[in-house]
């Protein structure tokens, strides 16, 4: 291919966000090939797959290459919007959305007034001017809603979520922000790159409730591993998506708790047992890692690997596979010999 054409292609590629272009604790983006390789080697029945703690949906996305139908689920509002933006098989007009974001990208912060987002998060999670633009764009997306299809609305919101991740004054989540002076960074909205598929069913439910209603060949389980609540770490994305402008509390400016996961509490073992016992599938696949003895308490695993294996073994013969993986680390915890594990259980008839 001539050099100029290659360059153009590369530029075009950079103009959209792919599903895995997200900072997210516990994302399996770098492990999904390994996970699918093991699933393919170990499992024959491969019609339907359920990713019930889907997070970034990186595993859902890989499963699309191997299964006829895929269920994707997570209880966070922001993840649900992202799944609809990427996977929902419905009408949208790219040119129309490009024109809308082109206007957003020419906004001048000087002529935008303060808004809920800038008043709360300005000069904290974002530079004041950037926060003004984000709040203004969020309002505009709501105002445009009647002219947009659901898919277009979700693509705009999803694109906003992916874009702000690039300019946030954080390590990648919203449990805290850097306290030093913030440099203003250009807020340049890019569209997410939706995936053409009619295979995905999207849910936003508690995983333990969902498994009672579905039946698939494979259920993939990737719960939170420790006391870090996803709804608290990504509260700002939840607030931006819901846009119900809640009262916020504390230095980290979090709303009242919602979607608090039992998997982050001492009850984790019992909810995991309940989950596994209520799965209607041929195989259960579980991701987990061996950070059972880290220095910081919040990184400590809530369920031990032995407990997981015992619970899974009650449903059928379980094999364990391992891979080393650089774990999310905000700098205050050392993980030696960190290993990512995959359990594959063939359920007894
Ligand atoms: C380890 S992450 C999953 C990461 C995902 N596999 C990926 O590749 O990005 C766990 C996810 O479970 C979700 N979650 C926690 N408790 C849940 C529950 N009870 N029901 C549904 N989702 C839950 C969290 O919001 C989080 O996104």
pLDDT 10s digits, 171-184:
999 999 999 999 99
> CA nearest 155: which of 192, 187, 190?
192
Is the pLDDT at 333 greater than 50? The verdict is no
Q: Tell me the residue range of the domain where 37 lies.
A: 28-88+204-227+265-349
CB 227 within 8 A of CB 293: no
CB 282 within 8 A of CB 45: yes
Kindly state whether residue 38 falls inside one of the protein's structural domains. Answer: yes
- State the Cα angle at 275 between 325 and 88, rounded to 5°: 70
Kindly state whether residue 21 falls inside one of the protein's structural domains. Answer: no
Instruction: Report the number of distinct structural domains present in the chain.
Output: 1
Give the mean pLDDT of 149-162: 98
CB 72 near ligand 1, within 6 Å: no
CA–CA dist 338, 335 (Å, integer): 6
Atom of ligand 1 nearest to the CA of 231: 25
For residue 147, the Cα-to-chain-centroid distance in whole angstroms is: 28
Kindly state whether residue 211 falls inside one of the protein's structural domains. Answer: yes
CB 222 near ligand 1, within 6 Å: yes
Question: Which residue of 86, 238, 261, 291 sits with most ligand 1 atoms within 8 Å of its CB, as the best mutation to test the pocket?
Answer: 261
Kindly state whether residue 177 falls inside one of the protein's structural domains. Answer: no
CATH of the domain at 270: 3.40.50.150
pLDDT tens sequence across 193-251: 999 999 999 999 999 999 999 999 999 999 998 889 999 999 999 999 999 999 999 99
CB 278 within 8 A of CB 347: no
Average pLDDT of the chain is 91
CB 207 near ligand 1, within 6 Å: yes
Give the mean pLDDT of 29-36: 95
Kindly state whether residue 134 falls inside one of the protein's structural domains. Answer: no
Q: How confident is the model at residue 337 (pLDDT cuts 50, 70, 90)?
A: low
Ligand 1 center to residue 96 CA distance, Å?
33
Q: Which of 133-147, 292-306, 321-335 has the lowest mean pLDDT?
A: 321-335
Kindly state whether residue 349 falls inside one of the protein's structural domains. Answer: yes
Q: Are strands 16-17 and 48-51 parallel, antiparallel or unpaired?
A: unpaired
Cβ-in-10-Å burial (0-12, 13-18, 19+) of 169 comes to: buried
Kindly state whether residue 260 falls inside one of the protein's structural domains. Answer: no
CB 48 within 8 A of CB 70: yes
Q: How far is CA 41 from CA 4, 70, 83, 248, in A?
A: 42, 19, 28, 48
Kindly state whether residue 22 falls inside one of the protein's structural domains. Answer: no
Q: How far is CA 272 from CA 211, 233, 262, 303, 317, in A?
A: 12, 22, 9, 9, 17
pLDDT tens sequence across 262-284: 999 999 999 999 999 999 999 99
Proportion of the chain above pLDDT 70, given as a percent: 89
For residue 183, the tally of other CB atoms under 10 A from its CB is: 8
For residue 154, the tally of other CB atoms under 10 A from its CB is: 25
């Amino acid at each position: 291919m001539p050099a100029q054409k290659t360059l153009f292609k590369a530029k075009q590629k950079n103009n959209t966000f792919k599903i895995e272009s997200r900072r997210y604790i516990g994302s399996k983006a770098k492990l999904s090939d390994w996970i699918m390789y093991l699933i393919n080697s170990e499992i024959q029945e491969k019609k339907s797959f359920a990713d019930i703690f889907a997070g970034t949906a990186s595993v859902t996305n890989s499963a699309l290459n191997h299964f006829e139908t895929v269920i994707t689920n997570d209880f966070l509002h922001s993840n649900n919007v992202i799944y609809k933006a990427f996977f929902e098989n419905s009408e949208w007009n790219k040119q129309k959305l490009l024109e809308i974001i082109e206007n957003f990208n020419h906004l001048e912060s000087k002529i935008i007034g303060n808004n809920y987002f800038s008043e709360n998060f300005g000069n904290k999670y974002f530079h004041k001017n950037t926060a003004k633009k984000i709040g203004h764009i969020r309002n505009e997306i709501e105002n445009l809603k009647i002219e947009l299809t659901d898919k277009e609305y979700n693509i705009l919101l999803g694109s906003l979520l992916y874009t702000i991740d690039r300019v946030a004054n954080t390590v990648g989540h919203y449990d805290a922000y850097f306290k030093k002076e913030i440099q203003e960074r250009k807020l340049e909205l890019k569209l997410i790159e939706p995936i053409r598929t009619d295979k995905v069913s999207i849910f936003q439910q508690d995983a333990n409730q969902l498994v009672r209603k579905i039946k698939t060949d494979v259920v993939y389980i990737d719960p939170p591993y420790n006391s870090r609540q996803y709804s608290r770490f990504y509260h700002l994305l939840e607030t931006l998506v819901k846009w119900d402008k809640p009262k916020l509390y504390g230095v980290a400016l979090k709303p009242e708790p919602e979607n608090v996961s039992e998997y982050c509490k001492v009850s984790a073992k019992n909810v995991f047992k309940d989950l596994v016992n209520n799965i209607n599938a041929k195989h259960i696949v579980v991701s987990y890692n061996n950070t059972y003895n880290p220095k910081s308490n919040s990184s400590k695993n809530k369920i031990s690997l032995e407990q997981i294996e015992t619970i899974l073994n009650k449903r059928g013969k379980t094999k364990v596979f391992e891979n080393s993986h650089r774990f999310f680390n905000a700098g205050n915890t050392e993980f030696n010999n960190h290993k990512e594990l995959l359990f594959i259980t063939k359920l007894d008839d």
